[in-house]
Structure 1
Amino acid sequence: MKNFIQTGEILEVTAPYDVASGGGVLVGSIFGFAVTSAVSGDKVNIKRKGVFEHAKTSAQAWTQGAALYWDNTAKVLTTTASGNTLVGAAALPAANPTAIGRIVI
């Protein structure tokens, strides 16, 4: 195929804020987890497919398959849609309270 560029599983973006390796990165509607740490304005590779563990809104219970959103202010995953960006689904249930959840993107 002449127009194929890359798989897109790992994508280089400009870090919109300082991010540690494994941290969530949202650039417009593109979301992934940083492969390495980066400071705001630097290039960083993000992984856009797979199952990841990440901080979540502690006071929420997740069911497997629940829609998950990125809270770009708190830098956590949440089930709250309002004001947040849809980024994936809960790979496993998560109890209330727990600080970490698993997402599939």
Structure 2
Amino acid sequence: MKNCVADGNTIDFTATADVASGAPVLLGKVLAVSLGNVVTGEVGVGVTEGVFELPKVTADDITQGGQVYIKADGMITSTASGNTLAGKAWADAPNPSDTVWVKVNA
């Protein structure tokens, strides 16, 4: 097929701040998880499909299958207002846990 430009599993991005390997990166409305450390101004690669353990707001009580959102600081939350959809919780992450498994972009 001549018009296929990418498989959609990864996306290149230019880091606007230093990014650690495994950190979430919000690209508009797409959540990517960085495959490696990326220095500000450099191009990195992020994964846009799959389930990842990501940092969450400790006080949130997130249940399996629930919608989750990403805050501007990269933390996952159950609060939609003012945040961007990140995907679905793959497992329960009760208060006071500090991570949650997220199926990104789901």
Matches within 5 A, 1:1-105: 1-73=1-73, 75-105=74-104
Contact (CA 8 Å) 1:35, 1:45: kept in 2 or not?
yes
1:52 match: secondary structure: strand
1:2 CA drift (Å): 1.6
The whole-number CA distance in structure 2 between the counterparts of 1:84 and 1:39 is 25
The total of aligned residue pairs comes to 104
**Matches of 2:36 and 2:92 in 1, distance apart?**
28
Equivalent pairs: percent with the same residue?
38
Distance 1:40 1:27 in 2: 15
Q: What's the CA shift for 1:95?
A: 1.1
Unaligned runs of 5+ residues in structure 2 are none
**TM-score for both structures, normalised by structure 1:** 0.93
Extract unaligned runs of 5+ from structure 1: none
Give me the CA root mean square deviation.
Answer: 1.0
Give the TM-score, by structure 2 length.
0.92
The letter for the 2-side match of 1:60 is D
